[in-house]
Structure 1
């Protein structure tokens, strides 16, 4: 008789079963939300710097594949660089401060060396292409500058830091470099 009473659908047994089912459902929803949160956090990083530099480098590669050292940088490229560095009230409240920029293996501007165009110069007819000597020269100029290394961000197109390449292969594959003061 007691066994029948224990197995019957009285209020206590129904409540216990429902609370167990609800507990399992809540636990599954919490796990689902944690999974979705991990996906959102990963995707929330600002990669506009990399995308913008890649787009400008492709533009220069397609429109000016053989631009000579000393030739004037076209206004189209200057406008693209200016748009890339400007702030945006919705996405990036502060403008990018470019200290070094080369596109399609030609130096657009370099604030580390006085002999080449300065990065603050936009819409100028005096902005001319110069030759990128080597990635090591960029590093040497960077370390010799008055800027703290931890305040600088380096963007390369394509990003090759995960690959084990020789210095010559790394030099050959890197198309564009930007050093930003963050």
Structure 2
């Protein structure tokens, strides 16, 4: 390693900073403490790296906006259902705040993507909440009827929407693929 570096640059430990000839080192700091200076092969001097050239541009945040739930509420487009069945389900969920908390935490990994896709397709935003009911936002969920994934696709329905299923892969459990297929299916309906 030392031999390679010696061939790449020469170090000036005592130059006065005056003009140099080929192969002679260049002084970077003409006054003050003496710093070694370097020259690349071909007698090309190296220059100091300034602060401006080392600053890193800001990185775009990948965090979901804080108002995602408001965004979902604003996108509601279905007519209100005011039936006994709906009220029974509302009461069931209202009596299980721990379950709602777990589902909400789990949904935070996927909900932003689903909202984006629903907005892109101009669909009712209530559909973004369907995985709460179907699977509690669990991509690995499997029902007793063999429906699988966050959107609970049955095997034949998954196949008809290009969700591959074999011994090594089940796209019904793939969040991106199954979301695409679910929204395709809901649009078709």
Same fold (TM over 0.5): no
Structure with bigger strand share is: 1
User: TM-score, normalization: structure 1?
Assistant: 0.22
Which structure carries more relative contact order (alpha carbon 8 Å, separation 6+)? 1
| Structure index of larger Rg | 2
